Chains A and B, each alone.
Chain A
Amino acid sequence: MNFSDYIQKIDRRYIFIILAIAVILPLLFPLGLPTFTTPPVLSLYKHIDEAAGTDDRAVFMDFAQSPSTLPELYPMDLAILRHCFLRDIKVLTISYYPQGAAIMQMAISEVKEDFPDVKQDVDYCNFGFRNFALRVPITLGMGDNIAEAVETNAAGRRLENLPIMEKLKNYDNIQVCMEISGAAPGIIYINYARARYGVDVAIGVTAVSAADNYPYLQTGQLVGLLGGLKGAAEYEELVETFANNDIPYSEKKAQNLSWRNQQYELSKVPYKFKQARIGMDAQAVAHVLIIIFIIIGNIGYFIEKRQDKNKYVK
């Protein structure tokens, strides 16, 4: 068997092993690669941060997730909730998927461990699970009156009786509608909530759908976009740098990597708030590996093609 045959016909289980090693090693021995921020994430952070300290503005989060999207979207959930709790921003959460509702509850519980002063129904309200068929009616109904559209929180209490809802009436009081989703993200909010009521919409998506949503960014239908693990890592970085240190957001500082690196030590950050950044080390190595695979595969292909051509010519 010559070289090109050998590299073309290698058993794919060897490829699996190489990939596994390429991912495991950076997780065990972190490389500490820096996180570079991008405009869609900066825009979202700035937008959410503008609601800091107000009691008549809230961030609305829709957890359209399932366990299969946990690695990419869960760090986003934690980062955004942490940002809101650090900066005293009210949060309203809902999910139209049963599994999303469980993930939502997990995320809130996990972030709340570090914020004993954050009170349910005062600083945040979990609306719980609603059937998927009610997505459009509730989305539209919130434009008139959130309490009437949603009716109760996850514990079954009427929303109009809750302290948090005193000054939160409808979309005029929503700073941003944030959908964190693994599939068709933001369509309902863009088509219905933004089109009819003009509320700002942002999305956190798996990397598969990130590239598809850039048209919405350009039109302004989205004010921000978190794309996959990279987007989560960027947002974690911004929360760690600004919100956790109580530093007002500045775009110039946000894009200054050396200034950001001086604001915190990654080793001192709780693991749950740096999952995405740790994962990006392994991501970088794996990306390089995939590129090497593509190049080697194509080298073998072109060698084989030339050999076949020479055979034919002979």
Chain B
Amino acid sequence: MMETIGIWVAAFLTLSMFSFLYKDNPFYKFAEHLFVGASMGYFIPYTFFNVFIPYAYNPLFLRHNYWLIIPFVIGLGYWFRFSNNLGWLSRYPIAFSMGIVGMGVPMSIHAQILVQMRTMMLPLTNINLILIFIGTVSILLYFFFSKAHEGIYGKFTSVGIWFMMVGFGASFGYTVMARLSLLIGRLQFLLGDWLGLIK
């Protein structure tokens, strides 16, 4: 019974959202505002039961690890973010969370830069690898705006533009696929789960 009611509620809300395609209307506004409130309301109990209780409450109050009162108090600083006078207290937990950025420096240099560069400069044994090398270098040079893109340099960077256009074309093709997949998913729900027309 609840499942049937749920499917009808979901179908009503789905059609309310789709009604925006005709024009803005109260049904769409209703669905939009409901979505915003329900999404945010969803986070609160989940965070309370899955993060606050096991990581803050239990260690401090049940396992009596009293040193944790310090991060507990620092964490409460988040609650002052919206205060004009005491907003500066929120900077402490934020600063503590940002500290781990330091580990990202060597890790991202390795994974995003060094590994990529090493593979780009593999022995150029076939035409595809040569094309990848030329393409990557020409695009990197294209983004170097300190030198004017003139003469041979300009011609080489325009090769980079060609590679980028093909790359963006591929991304666009995939984006079309992604957007259509989302629509297909919703129509599968309406036709299958709600109306029972898809077997």
Contacts and interface: CB of A to CB of B under 8 A. Distances in A.
B185 A70 contact: yes
Chain A binding surface SS class: helix
Given A71-B181, A206-B178, A133 B97 contact: yes
A287 interface: yes
B47 A28 contact: no
A72 B181 contact: yes
Interface string A22-56: 01100110000000000000000000000000000
Contacts of B112: 191
Given A28-B198, A137-B100, A221-B111, A23 B46 contact: no
B188 A129 contact: no
Secondary structure at the B interface, as helix, strand, loop or mixed, is: helix
Interface string A171-209: 000000000000000000011101110000000001110
A218 interface: yes
Contact of A282 (B46, B110, B184): B184
Interface string A101-134: 1000000000000000000000000001111010
Interface residues of B, number: 47
Interface stretch (B84-92, B101-109, B142-150): B101-109
Given A24-B191, A218-B119, A283-B184, A211 B21 contact: no
Nearest to A151: B54
A16 B50 CA distance: 43
A215 B181 CA distance: 24
A275 interface: yes
A149 interface: no
Given A128-B50, A207-B177, A208-B174, A72 B185 contact: yes
Interface stretch (A227-235, A243-251, A257-265, A295-303): A227-235
A254 interface: no
A262 B104 CA distance: 49
A140 B185 CA distance: 35
Contacts of A194: 111
Interface in B169-188: 170-171, 173-178, 180-188
Contacts of A271: 192, 198-199
A71 B186 CA distance: 8
Contact of A287 (B47, B167, B180, B183): B180
**Interface size class, chain A:** 35 or more
Contacts of A23: 180, 183-184, 187
A211 B46 contact: no
B197 interface: yes
Contact of A283 (B39, B181, B186, B197): B181
Interface string B18-30: 0001100000000
Contact of A286 (B110, B116, B184, B185): B184
Nearest to B198: A27
B181 A207 contact: yes
Nearest to A281: B184
B66 interface: no
Interface string B101-139: 001100110111001101100000000000010000000
A180 to B, nearest CB: 14
B178 A72 contact: yes
Given A136-B103, A283-B184, A27 B50 contact: no
A243 B128 CA distance: 35
B82 interface: no
A152 B46 contact: no
Contacts of B54: 151-152, 156
A194 B187 CA distance: 39
Contacts of A151: 54
Given A28-B191, A28-B197, A195 B107 contact: yes
A191 B50 CA distance: 26
11 contacts: A28-B197, A72-B185, A98-B43, A98-B50, A196-B107, A215-B116, A218-B119, A219-B116, A229-B177, A283-B181, A290-B180
Shortest Cβ-Cβ A-B pairs, 6 listed: A71-B185, A207-B178, A98-B46, A229-B181, A207-B177, A219-B119
